A and B are shown apart, each in its own frame.
Chain A
């Protein structure tokens, strides 16, 4: 089945130790999104890629970076994680960036920063 896959599902890292989260998709969608969802809070969009074009949200910290080496894969890099970065990170895809397009979400990666 076509799907959005995130690895790892759970990640524990130390304060300040760089960490990379992975997302892959078999939908061949043009757009990939990264959201941060803290406990009992709304998912918050960090950035998205439209094909190779990177679009950063205005309030996304510089500590968060992303790479999209090809259509299928997108990575979230946290250069120096802080305790406040403990959250679930959701990856989503859509065929286009139009407002009416459905977004398909992966299961998320739970990140714990100690």
Chain B
């Protein structure tokens, strides 16, 4: 059974710092991996999707990498801003299925 773990569970940084969020998964036979953002009182918003054949995806200040063989993904946020404060979740879809398996999330606080 696929298990997805995110470290750290919470992170607080001053504005302007570059930071890395980590995601690991136990079964490397994945179809794709997504990073989501969850704001209080709002739904999950998909940020980046990496297909299993890809190594990374970029959107603005966000860069997600995927190392399928080691079961790891990182989300790099450059020049963090207070508006980046949210919970970030990673989720995978296995080759053998079509449903998302989520990690527990990293709660990020960017202080002005």
Contact = CB atoms under 8 A, between A and B. Distances in A.
A38 to B, nearest CB: 10
B32 A42 contact: no
The A interface, classified by DSSP as helix, strand, loop or mixed, is loop
Interface string B92-109: 010001111111110100
B99 A45 contact: yes
B43 A40 contact: no
Contacts, number: 48
A42 B103 contact: yes
A4 B44 CA distance: 11
Interface string A22-63: 000000000000000000111111001000000000000000
A99 B4 contact: no
B46 interface: yes
A9 B49 CA distance: 28
Contacts of A41: 104
A19 interface: no
Contacts of A48: 99
B31 A4 contact: no
Contacts of A4: 43
A51 to B, nearest CB: 15
Contacts of B42: 107
Interface string A71-114: 00000000000000000001010000111101111111000000
B102 A40 contact: no
Nearest to A4: B43
Contacts of A9: 41
Interface of B: 4, 9, 31-32, 41-46, 49, 89, 93, 97-105, 107
Interface of A: 4, 9, 40-45, 48, 90, 92, 97-100, 102-108
